[in-house]
Structure 1
Amino acid sequence: MLEKLHRSLSPSLLLLLAFCAAVFIGEETVISIATLIVLSAELGISYGLFKKRDKSDLALIIALGTESLFLWTRAPWLLACSILLLIAASLWRAVIAPSARGKATVWRVARGTLFSLAALAVSVLWMVDLYAQSWTRPVKLPADMNAAIEDSILDSSAVMLRNIETMNAFGSRTTGSEGHNRFVVWLERQVTDMGFTVHRDNYAFDRWDEKSSSFFIEEDEIRISSVFPYSGVTDDEGVSGELVYTKRGDYTKASGKIAVVEIENIANLPMGLLMNVRGAFPEKTGLVTSDGDLVVTAALKEAHLEKAKEHGVLAVILVWKGASDDKLRKEYVPFTSDYAGIPAVWVNATEGQKVIRAARAHQAGTVRLQAELQKNAPTESFYVKIEGKNKQEAILVNTHTDGVNAIEENGAVGMLSMLRYLRHEPPERTMVFAFVTGHFRLPEFKGTSQATSTWLQAHPELWDGREGHMRAVAGITVEHLGSMEWKDDGEGRYGPTGLISTEYTYAGNERMGAIWLKAVEEKSRTRTVVLRGHNRFQFGESQPLFEAGIPVIGFIPMPDYLLVDRESREMDKFDVKLMREQIVSLLKAVKLVDATETDELGKSDSYSYFYGRTR
């Protein structure tokens, strides 16, 4: 009985170990130790308890050796060999050995087929993991490698603050808006005054911009927390109809009516599916599972407004659940949707309960959403160059210029200070500073991923290394400087935590990660987590550089208020001294990269896959 149970469970256990080793990045040590224990027990049971040998035992013995060597050397190829041996041994025990022992039965054939399919699936995961090289070894920089920044040359905090206030004076800067266009003109004037030549790329697109909105249930006004960008427009009278509570994406019973849909915020994001940690400084700095929750929720839990329009729905009311009213006020989400042609607004949980009750009582509502629809609206990207001694190789520094508050996006202001500093120190390689448009209109500007990909496609001569073109050996992306952390507490109150926002920084390979950790080690305040692009996710404008194979350092804190479009521009959450410290680190990174040989900078890794390292 025990022997039969052992034969039944053993293959599944071996395959489970192979699956875990292939999928869970960062847990290699724990899984290897568990594998050693299980394999030792397996061999002990076979030889000690049942006094039997199996042809697959040799694979298990070799796997024991490779796992032991892996724990000693940390060589990824040893782990890959062990996974393959586990898959082979499990297949032998579940499929091949039973076939040799006796007559085939329907159950045995079915079980063998299912197990073979499972083993094939694990093998595919193993091959993907092997191709992506998801598990990499950290790089150590020489102890004497450093970069000094002359404090007297760098803009003071007061100068940076004045520039931020100037940016804020333009108001909201959504793509192609008046505020955005005026901000770009101001940026170009700043770099021209520094003596740089501006190279422009002009675009035209169809722009939507909210002017006013309201929502009434009969005669009672319901406070709108924000409108759904690029949703739709009504006339002055708005649209009126019965409120119907329905599930997200299911608008069949809302034809000719106003749909009410509840969207629950994903307050604790599955970070292992979104991110893969390379390192951190201080060492115990970890991921914050609620960072970027509203942005990710709005993207993952799509409202599917196009379906609502197809079903003849008059308007859509989206009710937030699981976030405080203060946190939700004036959130510009989602910013990645095509124009839907149907008005939609968000309401907070407090107002939302009134709306849901009214919908269940079949009360009527009126939605008014007036917006400007501008055909062929102009917008512009531009770049400047600092000529280096080496004119065949380039370092790209990029950000986007559109945004809604003091943090999103102030990278362009930070890059002004970087340019002003670097013009005093001619670099080894040519540096290209790209200020791109379109981040807030990704359906039209994303190219292959984010807005910078459109700029890359327009300027292969600056980065692709083909005949007569410069080769970009590295990239530095600058976003969301000076942001302090604000969170909902356990009682639903939104306020400061006293911490700086987690400084998420994507590194294209381990060398770039090590350079960034070196660049931040002397900061007075740091909360750095270095990431690898994972499962096709890489937040921010460093993604196009990464996907183009350019080793990148992509600095992108993600505070909860990142997309809040209020008149205050979230200045109460901005710290200019922190911004200046972060610019110092970015300048150090630029100098360290410029001082590193091209071969040492290496190639960019690919995305890692499955469940990433979360600490």
Structure 2
Amino acid sequence: MTTIRGDLEMPTGPARSVPGTRIADGSFVGPGVLDVWQRELDARGLRATGSDSHHDYIASLADRLAFVGVSDIRQEVLPLRRWTPQRVRLALHQEDGAVEVPVVSPVAYSGCTAPQGVTASLSAEPVTGRIGVADVPLPALQARVFDDLDWGGPEDIRHVADYDPATPYERVWLSQDVMREQLSRFAQAGAAGLVLVVDLPAEALHEGYLLYDGVHRGLPAVFVSREQGEHLRAAAARGQVATLVLEAHAEHVETSNVLGLIPGASDELVVLHSHTDGTNGLEDNGPEAILAMAQYLARVPRQELPRGVLILLTTGHFATHTAWGLEDFLDRHRDDLVPKIAAALCLEHLGALPWSLDRQEGVPASEYEFGCVFASPHQAVIDTVRRGLDRAGVTESRVLRPFVPDTTGRSPDGTTWPGDGSAFWHNAGLPSANFITGPGYLLNAEPVIDLIDVAAMRRQAIAFTETVIDLCAAPWADLHARREAQQ
């Protein structure tokens, strides 16, 4: 499926690089081109790390980066022990035969069974030799939690119309620590398998790709929806017998980061980053936006761009608990490229519309999916990306501080954030920012093109191109000046 759409018309001629000014609409890749790119990405479906579909997308991106004018393109190979499911089945045994239980998906990297599967009694508690049934609740967060994390405070945020700080923020990806805990409990007890019941209806969980930390646990496990969970909990209380089949295989493969350069007037760099593996056309469409941004930036005369722009599209997001591909880049280039980095900008999940069960009945969304930028404690970066959010006018203008405890032991202040660009801060201490949204359908391996507003994605891409231009012009000392973290 590797294609270069040479028939798509794109702007030509020199582009402007004037800090603090807006990019002319006609000088940026048009909405028709972005729509084609976005639809082609969505049609690819699941791009699990190291899979054939992922390899093909990486090759396509390398070709297309060259097509839009990026130079010095190369791929840097990383090894991966990849886990691939082949057949999944769950059945309850009754006097008149087995009854099939609908499964949302296997738990990625969980384990495998023989072709005949494992047959054992169900149990709500970890018991050796039994198939466990465990709940995965969704955390009951509200929007005000994120306002409180803003570097400036709630008064500095431009909110969307009709904003309510009490709006619930319940997302299945926020429950991944609970999933890990349940898997660990049942694996340590010697369970024969595990069924994780997610507290969402089946309509919200189409082929959910969870848990994506790449840990080979050796415990075959599957996800089911809340409807199936009710039946399975009752069956476990009776000690009913079930059969779980999860055929899968693990193999050693190679996957790659993609690097390219838009030269500037100096050797200093601003990094423009996203990841290439994903579940659907939103996760992650950052590379598509970056292609459009690169097409503009590559037309800026070199002497007018104070710093070069390093395009970095990394692998490993869906096979690690950390930003594995980015961490490899930072370790591999700690003595050459990293010292030249003035700032970095990561883009994830642009143009996202919210999803609810009402949308299935054709009720249009009234606002965009909740979004924000996480930023390192560098005031020049915080101010620059907030202006970018204001210019885009799509999501709120939240710029949040890192708040997740860092487990790498490298973070300058012991914190990081939940985004693929977090390693710029927690691994290398670099001035950096990470735009991200996290709708409930983010990890569903299904078409989501009707939940992506390409016009909004384009507005974001234009605004973030202006952000890159501002970062290229900002003095190095200003970008690297640290502020105190808020408590």
Change in Cα spacing, 1:402 to 1:423, as seen in structure 2 (3 Å) is same
The 5 Å alignment of 1:79-94 reads none
Residue 217 of structure 2 corresponds to 340
1:493 and 1:241 map into 2 onto residues whose CA distance is: 41
- Contact 2:42 2:282 (C-alpha < 8 Å) held by counterparts: no
What is the CA deviation profile of residues 273-304 of structure 1, one whole-angstrom value per residue up to 9, with x for unaligned ones?
99711245425767786546211112245344
Residue 389 of structure 1 corresponds to 265
Match of 2:441 among 561, 570, 583: 561
For the pair 1:499 / 2:373, whether they are aligned, the reply is: no
Specify the SS of the correspondent of 1:152.
helix
2:350 and 2:436 map into 1 onto residues whose CA distance is: 8
Residue 532 of structure 1 corresponds to 401
1:164 and 1:283 map into 2 onto residues whose CA distance is: 27
The 5 Å alignment of 1:147-226 reads 147-195=21-69, 196-218=71-93, 219-226=98-105
1:356 and 1:494 map into 2 onto residues whose CA distance is: 34
1:288 and 1:239 map into 2 onto residues whose CA distance is: 45
- Contact 2:45 2:281 (C-alpha < 8 Å) held by counterparts: no
Specify the SS of the correspondent of 2:249.
strand
Specify the SS of the correspondent of 1:399.
strand
Residue 254 of structure 2 corresponds to 378
What is the CA deviation profile of residues 389-422 of structure 1, one whole-angstrom value per residue up to 9, with x for unaligned ones?
111x211111110001111011111111111110
Residue 88 of structure 1 corresponds to none
Match of 1:325 among 185, 202, 213: 202
Specify the SS of the correspondent of 1:240.
strand
Cα drift, residue 373 of structure 1: 2.0
Match of 1:282 among 154, 158, 166: 158
For the pair 1:473 / 2:342, whether they are aligned, the reply is: yes
Change in Cα spacing, 1:233 to 1:275, as seen in structure 2 (3 Å) is farther
Give unpaired runs (5+ residues) of structure 1. Answer: 1-143, 466-470, 610-615
Match of 1:583 among 430, 447, 461: 461
Residue 231 of structure 1 corresponds to 110
Specify the SS of the correspondent of 1:460.
coil
Residue 11 of structure 2 corresponds to none
Residue 402 of structure 1 corresponds to 277
Higher mean displacement: 544-553 or 574-583: 544-553
- Contact 1:486 1:497 (C-alpha < 8 Å) held by counterparts: yes
Give unpaired runs (5+ residues) of structure 2. Answer: 1-17, 405-414
- Contact 2:112 2:246 (C-alpha < 8 Å) held by counterparts: yes
- Contact 1:487 1:495 (C-alpha < 8 Å) held by counterparts: no
2:318 and 2:484 map into 1 onto residues whose CA distance is: 26
Q: How many residues align?
A: 444
Residue 388 of structure 2 corresponds to 519
Higher mean displacement: 580-589 or 206-215: 206-215
2:362 and 2:416 map into 1 onto residues whose CA distance is: 28
Q: Which has the larger radius of gyration?
A: 1
1:287 and 1:453 map into 2 onto residues whose CA distance is: 35
Residue 190 of structure 2 corresponds to 312
The 5 Å alignment of 1:75-154 reads 146-154=20-28
- Contact 1:394 1:430 (C-alpha < 8 Å) held by counterparts: yes
Residue 574 of structure 1 corresponds to 452
- Contact 1:507 1:530 (C-alpha < 8 Å) held by counterparts: yes
Cα drift, residue 309 of structure 1: 3.3
- Contact 1:507 1:554 (C-alpha < 8 Å) held by counterparts: yes
Change in Cα spacing, 1:604 to 1:224, as seen in structure 2 (3 Å) is farther
1:603 and 1:544 map into 2 onto residues whose CA distance is: 19
Q: Taking structure 2 as the reference length, what is the TM-score of the superposition?
A: 0.84
- Contact 2:44 2:280 (C-alpha < 8 Å) held by counterparts: no
**Cα RMSD for the two superposed structures:** 2.6
- Contact 1:399 1:479 (C-alpha < 8 Å) held by counterparts: yes
Higher mean displacement: 158-167 or 381-390: 158-167
> More relative contact order in 1 or in 2 (CA 8 Å, sep 6+)?
2
Letter in 2 for 1:320: V
What is the CA deviation profile of residues 538-595 of structure 1, one whole-angstrom value per residue up to 9, with x for unaligned ones?
11122111222221121111111111112x2x11211111110110111010111122
What is the CA deviation profile of residues 461-496 of structure 1, one whole-angstrom value per residue up to 9, with x for unaligned ones?
45442xxxxx2111111111111112468xx99976
Match of 2:228 among 346, 351, 355: 351
- Contact 2:142 2:165 (C-alpha < 8 Å) held by counterparts: no
Cα drift, residue 510 of structure 1: 2.5
Change in Cα spacing, 1:561 to 1:521, as seen in structure 2 (3 Å) is same
What is the CA deviation profile of residues 345-381 of structure 1, one whole-angstrom value per residue up to 9, with x for unaligned ones?
111111111101111111110111122322x211110
Cα drift, residue 199 of structure 1: 2.1
- Contact 1:209 1:372 (C-alpha < 8 Å) held by counterparts: yes
Letter in 2 for 1:187: L
Residue 135 of structure 1 corresponds to none
Letter in 2 for 1:454: D
- Contact 2:85 2:247 (C-alpha < 8 Å) held by counterparts: yes
Match of 1:294 among 172, 196, 207: 172
- Contact 1:291 1:560 (C-alpha < 8 Å) held by counterparts: no
For the pair 1:436 / 2:301, whether they are aligned, the reply is: no
Change in Cα spacing, 1:235 to 1:201, as seen in structure 2 (3 Å) is same
- Contact 1:244 1:360 (C-alpha < 8 Å) held by counterparts: yes
Change in Cα spacing, 1:204 to 1:451, as seen in structure 2 (3 Å) is closer
Specify the SS of the correspondent of 1:419.
helix
Specify the SS of the correspondent of 2:57.
helix
Q: Taking structure 1 as the reference length, what is the TM-score of the superposition?
A: 0.68
- Contact 1:506 1:554 (C-alpha < 8 Å) held by counterparts: yes
Match of 1:367 among 217, 237, 244: 244
2:258 and 2:137 map into 1 onto residues whose CA distance is: 39
1:399 and 1:292 map into 2 onto residues whose CA distance is: 25
Letter in 2 for 1:481: L
